[in-house]
């Protein structure tokens, strides 16, 4: 039986400041979930913390590319080394963010090991890159560029570390839970990047969608796949404590039903959890929800 290992990656380097002079509070995600007893509830081993660099925009201005890029690159390499060691040893990392840019560490680790896919559960397509700024706006916040960056679109100091970009092939990504009107869908379709918005998941059933993802990955002859879970895939009625609480998201039971078959697959090698912001959740209800969800899906028997 593989060992579950809990790793903290409390980086907020990829998000814009919520207000001038402040920093995004999602770096507190890991602490909030640990406070819910997640280590014990998952039956996990302690994987420690990969401490991020200081959040500092410095003299950055629009047009300079991604802010915090040098710090992000250094952090990605260190996080990748930690994750690579565990996956290479047969462990199952549960990585607590942080913002979505921590996925770069996971996919770089997996690219060092072979060919892996990503089930990208997120309320947004996260496909902003230098080639579509007319539609998606200027690049800058890496957390909104996740799918683009892991597939090699964006500045090379983040998308081609170790000369291994793209970390994931277009056909090896499945984007799940984006809002029905997400602006990235047309481009994703044109590139052959699989995606299923909320309406489609409801119409077909989350279990059926998950099984199709597994079949898709099986056909690609992957060494395995990783799950990226952004808390904003949930509807704000159940998870308002995120930076972009857009309506029309999945409900908790729908997300559980989508995650269940993916987590049960022996080819799933790990998961990262991102974007929940305890600063936006004074009662801590979001931490309770996420801890219960992760326990129900990933706890060791």
pLDDT band of residue 1 (cuts 50, 70, 90) is confident
Let me know: does 173 contact 196? Beta carbons within 8 Å: no
In the β-sheet with 268-274, what is the strand arrangement from edge to edge? 45-49, 4-8, 92-96, 268-274, 224-230, 116-121, 173-176, 194-196
User: Residue 50 and residue 131: Cα distance in Å, rounded?
Assistant: 32
Q: Give yes or no for residue 59 having a pLDDT over 80.
A: yes
Let me know: does 128 contact 137? Beta carbons within 8 Å: yes
250-281 pLDDT, tens digit per residue, is 999 999 999 999 999 999 999 999 999 999 99
Helix (H) or strand (E) holding 258: helix 252-264
Residue 156: CB atoms within 10 Å: 11
Looking up tokens 């014990």 gives 40
Return the CATH number at 97.
3.40.800.10
pLDDT at 2: 86
Let me know: does 15 contact 280? Beta carbons within 8 Å: no
255: containing domain: 3-299
106-119 pLDDT, tens digit per residue, is 999 999 999 999 99
The number of folded domains in the chain is 1
pTM, rounded to two decimals: 0.98
pLDDT band of residue 228 (cuts 50, 70, 90) is very high
Mean per-residue pLDDT, 54-61: 93
pLDDT at 236: 98
Whose CA is closest to 209, among 159, 278, 163, 260? 260
User: Residue 121 and residue 13: Cα distance in Å, rounded?
Assistant: 20
173-214 pLDDT, tens digit per residue, is 999 999 999 999 999 999 999 999 999 999 999 999 999 999
């Amino acid at each position: 039986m593989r060992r579950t290992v809990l790793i903290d990656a409390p980086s907020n380097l990829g998000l814009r400041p919520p207000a001038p002079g402040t920093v995004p509070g999602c770096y507190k995600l890991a602490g909030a979930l640990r406070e819910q007893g997640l280590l014990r509830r998952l039956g996990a081993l302690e994987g420690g913390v990969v401490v991020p660099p200081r959040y500092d925009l410095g003299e950055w201005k629009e047009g300079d590319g991604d802010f915090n890029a040098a710090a992000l690159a250094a952090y990605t390499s260190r996080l990748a080394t930690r994750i690579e060691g565990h996956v290479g040893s047969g462990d199952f990392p549960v990585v607590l963010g942080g913002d979505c840019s921590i996925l770069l560490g996971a996919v770089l680790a997996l690219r060092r090991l072979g060919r892996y896919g990503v089930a990208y559960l997120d309320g947004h397509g996260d496909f902003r890159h230098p080639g579509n700024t007319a539609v998606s706006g200027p690049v800058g916040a890496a957390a909104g560029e996740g799918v683009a960056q892991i597939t090699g679109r964006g500045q090379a100091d983040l998308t081609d570390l170790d000369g291994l970009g793209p970390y994931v092939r277009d056909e090896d990504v499945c984007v799940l839970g984006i809002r029905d009107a997400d602006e990235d869908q047309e481009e994703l379709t044109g590139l052959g990047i699989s995606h299923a918005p909320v309406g489609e998941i409801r119409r077909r059933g989350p279990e059926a969608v998950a099984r199709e993802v597994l079949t898709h990955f099986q056909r690609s002859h992957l060494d395995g796949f990783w799950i990226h879970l952004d808390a904003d895939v949930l509807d704000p009625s159940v998870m308002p404590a995120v930076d972009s609480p857009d309506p029309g998201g999945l409900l908790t039971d729908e997300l559980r039903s989508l995650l269940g078959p993916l987590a049960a697959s022996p080819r799933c090698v790990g998961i990262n959890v991102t974007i929940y912001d305890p600063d936006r959740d004074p009662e801590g209800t979001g931490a309770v929800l996420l801890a219960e969800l992760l326990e129900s899906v990933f706890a060791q028997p």
